[in-house]
Structures are given as structure tokens and as C-alpha cells.
Chains A and B, each alone.
Chain A
Amino acid sequence: MYQINSDRDHLVVTKLTSQFSEAIESHEFMADMLCITINKDAIHKSLLFLRDDTELQYNFLTTLCGMHYPEKQKLGVVYHLHSFVNNHRIRIKTDADIDDPTIATATAIWPAANWMERETYDFFGILFEGHPNLKRILNVDEMVDFPLRKDFPLEDQTREDKDDSMFGR
């Protein structure tokens, strides 16, 4: 079973900070996991470092997904990494301006990122630079919106039979 290992958390922070001190924006412990926010310019280098460092060995990308912060006008990506060797998990976050939502792809580091990044592009419109096949994966190809952005109305806009007053709107 996975157990919280604060020594390892400390090691990750120390190693990352010594390598990319200016790119590490913040680190905190939340929801049972160390969470490090890294500047998007250094995201590829730091993910590669986390995978290849002999002491860390985060060889497995558990998941990757998008985030939208409407008040900050930012889109973000969160990566969940797992080191099978040390049985340790960490969370990496990065963000990009909503007007220029480009973030380096992780497909060269973990091939599993391919479909996850397509999904993140599909729902949030984050453009992963260097992705081999960045197109929609779940929604219809003709779609122009990114439906999981907070400003997208989730209800179907073509229905005429719904009286807003009956739904408290």
C-alpha cells in the first residue's frame, strides 16, 4: 500500500530546487501528496529529470489533466507521477496564459501522455507543443469550443422545451 513518505518529499523538493531553482514557483503538501508548481518553460526539463534521476525514478505517469482558472485568466495542467521503484507519488502543476495556452508535450517522456494530452486539448484547449497527433479524442471533430472551460454552458443550447423559471434560472 502507498504510504506518505515525508523524507522522499523532502528529497524531491531539494533535488528539484538545486536543479531548477528559478523555475520552481511553489511547493506544498496537499491532499496526501506533495504538489510542486513549475514554470511552463522548464516543465519538460523537470519532468525528464524526475523520470531519469537515479534516486527519484518517477517512471510512471498516473494521469494528466487540465485546469481552468477564470479569475486568473489561466489554463493549467496537473501531472500525477508515480515512482514504482520507491513507491512514491507526487503531483506537478504548471500553467499558461489563456491567450497563449501552449505547454510542452510529455509524450516523449511517457508515451501514455499521448491520449491524455489529446483529451486535455479536447476539453480545455491547451496546445501541447511537439505532440505527434494533437486532435480531439472524445468530442465531435466539428466542435469549436472547449467544454470544460468554466465559461462554457454545459446544458444543451438547442432545447426549446425547458422553461428557465421552472428550473430556478
Chain B
Amino acid sequence: MPAANTKTMSEKLNLKTTPTVAEAPEGFSGQGFFATSIEKAVGLARKNSLWPLPFATSCCGIEFMATMASHYDLARFGSERLSFSPRQSDLLMVMGTVAKKMGPVLREIYIQMAEPKWVMAVGACAASGGIFDTYSVLQGIDRIIPVDVYVPGCPPRPEQIIDGIIKIQELVGNESLRRRNSKEYEDLMKKYNME
């Protein structure tokens, strides 16, 4: 058998088969100690243990199911555990067309999520209404809730969704601990008529 065929799937894809340890942030280390800022330590923990809340309304939700399944395996990025309760989730993933009648439901779910929380709009419909330029469809979820990352595509492939997750992780890891108490954040919430 030729040598190229003896490679396992994970070797071909250049994936590590052993569990990876997250990269340590900048800091001071010496014999038996490591010191860094609390912000960096918290960011490190948060970004590698996001609990997504899938709000899947159409075909983008099917792509998300593939993203969560064994082949693409979102668990590799620390998002093994989906939360179907908004109370315990960090990341709201809106995947699919949101009808205007569904708008208040989505807004309620966002309000029910505990801070800190992030939102990802997956696909053209969640980002802009997509092809559904019609009276019954919300023309982008950012009209009712703030969005952190937009993933384009109709629907986006699982790789794109993973790319969106990595972008969210960058935001989470680098977020200032005081951001949610800032004036800017308060103004943003006011813009959406939220406390």
C-alpha cells in the first residue's frame, strides 16, 4: 500500500489527535509560578468555553448541525456544550430567516441571556434579510439586537461558521473586563431600547 494512503483522516487534515492546551497569555513566569492580568486569564477561560445558544430557523441551522457533528466538530474550539436555555449561554447564534413575527421572541431571548453575551448572525437572512426582501421578514437581526460577528453565505459552509466562532473567540479573549460597564455599552443598549 502506498505510504500516502496509510495516513489517518486527522493526519490528512493536519488535526491534533491529543487534546490541545490553550496558549498561555503574556505574563511573568518563574519557578512554580505564572503571573498575568486577571483580564487576560478571564478572557482565556471565557473564549475557550463558550456555550452557544443555537437559534436555528432555516437552512443555516442545518449547516450548524453539520458544524456541531463529528466531521467539523465545533467541540474542538471549546463549544462542546450547547445551551438551549438563554440563562446559561454566552453566545447567541442566529441562523436563518427571522420573520417579523419572530422578532419579539428573538429579542426576549437576547434579554434573558446573562452578561457577558455575544451574538453571531449566521447567513444572509440573519445579517440582512437575504433574498427575502418582503414585508413579513425582518431585514437583518441587527435591527432588534446588537450583533458582534456576521457570517456571510446562503447558507455558509461549516468552515465559515467555524471562522465566525474563531472571530467571536478573538472578541471574547480581548474584551476588557470593564466593557459591559462602559458608557459606550450603555449607549448601545439604549439604542436597542434595552436596559
One digit per residue, 1 when the CB lies within 8 angstroms of any chain A CB and 0 when it does not, for chain B 130-160 equals: 0001111101000000000000000000000
> Given contacts A139-B101, A140-B100, A140-B101, is CB(A162)–CB(B136) below 8 Å?
no
Q: Is the CB of A156 within 8 A of B139?
A: yes
Q: Is the CB of A156 within 8 A of B101?
A: no
One digit per residue, 1 when the CB lies within 8 angstroms of any chain B CB and 0 when it does not, for chain A 124-164 equals: 00000000000000111000010100001111111101100
Q: Is the CB of B136 within 8 A of A159?
A: no
One digit per residue, 1 when the CB lies within 8 angstroms of any chain B CB and 0 when it does not, for chain A 10-51 equals: 000000000000000000000000000000000000000000
10 A-B contacts (beta carbon < 8 Å): A139-B136, A140-B100, A147-B135, A147-B136, A154-B135, A155-B133, A155-B135, A156-B133, A156-B134, A159-B139
Closest to A159 in B: B139
Q: How many residues of A contact B (CB 8 A)?
A: 15
Q: Which residues of A contact B52 (CB under 8 A)?
A: none
- Could you tell me the distance in whole angstroms from the C-beta of B1 to the nearest C-beta in chain A? 57
- Could you tell me the distance in whole angstroms from the C-beta of B68 to the nearest C-beta in chain A? 31
Q: Counting CB contacts under 8 A, is B129 at the interface?
A: yes
Besides A155-B134, A155-B135, A159-B129, 4 more A-B contacts (Cβ < 8 Å) are A140-B101, A147-B136, A154-B135, A162-B133
Q: Which residues of B contact A161 (CB under 8 A)?
A: 128
- Could you tell me the distance in whole angstroms from the C-beta of A137 to the nearest C-beta in chain B? 11
Q: Which residues of B contact A158 (CB under 8 A)?
A: 139
Q: Is the CB of B133 within 8 A of A159?
A: yes
Q: Is the CB of A157 within 8 A of B135?
A: yes
